[in-house]
Amino acid sequence: MSRSVRRLGPADIAALRALNALFADAFGDRETYAGAPPADAWLAGLLAKEHIVVLAAERAGEVVGGLVAYTFDKVERMRREIYIYDLAVAEAHRRRGVATDLIAHLRGIAAACGAWVVFVQADHGDDPAIALYGKLGTREEVLHFDIPVAPPDP
């Protein structure tokens, strides 16, 4: 049975919910991905935004992988960058080219919208992700910082 990759649109709420469930399992983070599910209208609104790219890899009507990426318009030049924020494949479907297919589909979207690069972050110790991204692109050594929205108490 073949697999397909497609960009989700506003009518694909069920597929997005299935993808969030897959993310919860793959990342071991039920609180973030399933703890407070957004309303259908919220999800449909997000899926309608051109700068938010949600891709699902499906096999026999089941979501077996997917990614969420964001497009950034740059101010220093007339160009865009695309950031892969979440990417996961169901455990039973790993090591079969699903993630590579998802990224290939995203690269097509990036080319069509004038993006000059797709970038992604991998955590130390996530060897499968590091191997995949290293095969597809150039590794950069960077530091990532989470800055709270509210300033710390004095």
Long-range (24+ apart) CB contacts under 8 A made by 6-9 are 6/55, 6/56, 6/58, 6/105, 7/53, 7/54, 7/55, 7/105, 7/109, 8/47, 8/54, 8/55, 8/56, 9/47, 9/48
Classify residue 124 as exposed, middle or buried by CB count within 10 Å of its CB (0-12, 13-18, 19+).
exposed
What CATH number matches the domain at 3-136, 3.40.50.300, 3.40.630.30, 1.10.1060.10, 1.20.1740.10? 3.40.630.30
Q: What share of the chain has pLDDT > 70, as a percent?
A: 91
Query: pLDDT tier at 143 (50, 70, 90 boundaries)?
Result: low
- The pLDDT value recorded for residue 140 is 76
What would the pLDDT profile of 78-117 be if each residue is shown by its tens digit?
889 999 999 999 999 999 999 999 999 999 999 999 999 9
Every domain of the chain and the residues it spans: 3-136
Which of these, 108, 109, 110, 133, lies nearest to 120 by C-alpha position?
133
Given a cut of 70, whether residue 9 has pLDDT beyond it is: yes
Over residues 64-77, the mean pLDDT reads: 96
pLDDT, averaged across the chain: 90
Over residues 43-60, the mean pLDDT reads: 97
